[in-house]
Amino acid sequence: MAVFRVEKNSNYTTMCNYHLRDQNLSLKAKGLLSLFLSLPDAWHYSIRGIVAISKEGVDSVNSALRELEECGYLIRSQKRLENGRMGEIEYVIYEIPEGADPDADFPGTGSPYTENPDTVLSDPENPRGINKDKTSTERTNTEINKKRESKRPVRHRYGQYQNVLLSDEEMEKLMNEFPNDYQNRIERLSEYMASTGKIYKNHLATMRSWAKRDSQKSQENKTYDHGNYQFAAGDSL
């Protein structure tokens, strides 16, 4: 059985293991995301820049980027300049996809099974060769996961640019509160985030805030304006 040894240096990057355990990602996509997470915050992301620091070509990098987008690890949006022309593309990178369960157990991450494992010398004090530290850690992690009762709700992507994230419960609330135009409100937020590059923590709360603001503006427009002889509905001279 082959043995892999890792020689670690002081120059290292600390990152979440979630994407490394995600079987929906190819090794190429996992490697690219790991590269992203190791880069400085001020690094200028671009296809050309990624190609320059790797052996991959443009097509290969684009393929990995699309894979990360499809799995929710990456959101790309293009900003519009003041003159109306399209500007640079902004990359928003996530260690864990929005709405995913950070404590999810991925299949296939346990000890591998081999039909004919190589014979190894066992420790007299531990004849079965059990990794006691690993077993203890796995047991502790299992107990912790069982105690976690509150889970993040899964959020689905909506809007033309697939960047509006809502859980089933949030979508139901949105439809109940705005039954006649909830879809328009989703598209409005989707287009705004895609064109400006802005990101909001809670998309349902953002649409509610915009609705409240629109209502206030509508009320202001209906108020009596003596200078222009405008009256609210139902008023008369």
Contacts of 111 (CB under 8 A, 6+ apart): none
Q: Tens digits of per-residue pLDDT, 61-92?
A: 999 999 998 888 888 877 777 787 877 777 78
**CATH number for the domain running over 18-93:** 1.10.10.10
DSSP state of 31: H
Residue range 4-23, pLDDT digits in tens? 555 556 677 888 888 998 88
pTM of the model: 0.42
What are the phi and psi torsion angles at 180 (to 5°)?
A: -90, -25
For the purposes of burial, counting CB atoms within 10 Å of the CB of 171, is it exposed (0-12), middle (13-18) or buried (19 or more)?
Answer: middle
Confidence of residue 149 (pLDDT cuts 50, 70, 90): very low
Domain boundaries, the chain: 18-93, 155-221
Strand partners, 164: 158
* Residue 114 half-sphere exposure toward CB, CA atoms < 13 A: 7
Helix, coil or strand: residue 155: strand
